[in-house]
Amino acid sequence: MARVTHALPRASFWSGKRVFITGHTGFKGGWLTLWLSQLGAILRGYALAPETEPDFFAACHVARHIEHQIADIRDAATLTAAMRDFAPEIVLHLAAQPLVRASYLRPMETYATNIMGTANVLDAVRQTPSVQVTIVVTSDKVYAESAGVHDETSRLGGHDPYSASKAGAELVAASFPMPAGQRLATVRAGNVIGGGDWAEDRLLPDFFRAIMAGELLTLRHPAAVRPWQHVLEPLCGYLVATEYMWAHEAPRESWNFGPDPNDSATVQSVAARLCALWGQGAFFTVAPDANPVHEAQSLRLRSEKAWRDLAWRPSMRLDDALDATVSWYRAFKDGADMEAFTLSQIRAFSQYE
């Protein structure tokens, strides 16, 4: 796995830290839990049960690495009680309704989860004096659509319920009255890929579901451009951002974590690379959605602020990220120990071996 040297989370910081994670049963939350477990953190998770079959949480035995509670961030009283009981030093908020197309079908759930759920998390933090740093994970889709490249000062917006709800979460984080001494950052990443994502209406999960079912993948938005990056890239950013906030007095910050600008690519070109990597008769067809919903055609992020503040920059090129992802799903298909396989990918990325 070719990589560029840059800041990595330090075991010397994380070992023994009490960390409360919302959304630990999800794709990104599961990877984050395994990584923090390897760094020696003491973990408590709060999330809904996994919604897909199969799912990363079960496939990688994530429950072995975290004390976890199945509950809803919309339930403010239960959330606050859970956080106060654990008394964390750090809160990492990943729980969300994460899908654009689902947000059209369930707009009220999306707004309630992503906006009021974030407010509930921050209110629980406000009532938990042990918390020093909170990281709120949003999305590259918080920015108003334009042909340009977005940095942290770009205007927030949102054409669809998901994007608007994530922009709303940013506004909540920017305005929520936090006690003196508690520090808060929002982090915005691009299209995250990697092994174990089984969500609907995402290119790579759709590809691997089709392959394993012996079906043909159909592309709905082949010309859409996305900032693709392996899941370990933004997670690395979230962790080094936490370390930065711990060491600095700035009460609020925001960072983009995007791929190398040369690695923005169309849906169709990524699908073609996946077919080449998988082989074994993998093909796709292009058929524009008969009932399309609005999705941004071009999303690009600038991450210079993360490099300047955190010494973070993308380290995996797109081909490496796709290769690592295909390797994960091939191992899953072959019945490998996915907990061990995933931990080996984390160690390879972070050079712990």
pLDDT digits (tens, 9 = 90+) for 26-35: 999 999 999 9
* 229-262 pLDDT per residue, tens: 999 999 999 999 999 999 998 889 999 999 888 7
φ/ψ of 73, rounded to 5, equals -70, -15
Identify whether 238 is part of a domain.
Answer: yes
pLDDT score of 352: 44
Torsion, Cα 65 71 76 78, to 10 degrees, reads -80
The pLDDT tens digits of the residues spanning 311-341 come to 999 989 999 999 999 999 999 999 999 999 9
pLDDT of residue 262: 78
Give mean pLDDT, residues 153-168.
94
Which is more confidently placed, 32 or 159?
32
SS3 label, residue 253: strand
Most confident of 106-120, 214-228, 253-267, 292-306: 106-120
Q: Is residue 84 part of a domain?
A: yes
Q: CA 307 → CA 39, 167, 311, distances in Å?
A: 23, 23, 4
Q: How far, in Å, CA of 332 to CA of 195, rounded?
A: 9
Is 336 within a domain? yes
- Which has the higher per-residue pLDDT, 52 or 4? 52
Residues 6+ apart with CB under 8 A from 242: 90, 92, 133, 135, 185
pTM listed for this prediction = 0.94
Residue 131 inside a domain? The answer is: yes
Mean pLDDT of 340-346: 98
Q: Is the pLDDT of residue 217 over 70?
A: yes
Measuring CA to CA, how many Å separate 49 from each of 26, 62, 66, 281? Answer: 9, 12, 14, 35
Residue 289 has what pLDDT?
A: 61
| Mean local confidence (pLDDT), 7-11 | 96
Mean per-residue pLDDT of the chain: 92
Q: Give the pLDDT score at 225.
A: 82
Residue 4 inside a domain? The answer is no
On whether residue 1 sits in a domain, the answer given is: no
Residue owning tokens 């799903």: 329
Domain count, the chain: 1
Residue 145's pLDDT is 78
pLDDT higher at 227 or 312 = 312
pLDDT tens per residue, range 56-102? 999 999 999 999 999 999 999 999 999 999 999 999 999 999 999 99
**Is position 340 within any domain?**
yes
Report yes or no on 79 lying in a domain.
Answer: yes
Q: Identify the domain containing residue 278 by its residue range.
A: 11-350
Q: What is the CATH number of the domain that holds 281?
A: 3.40.50.720
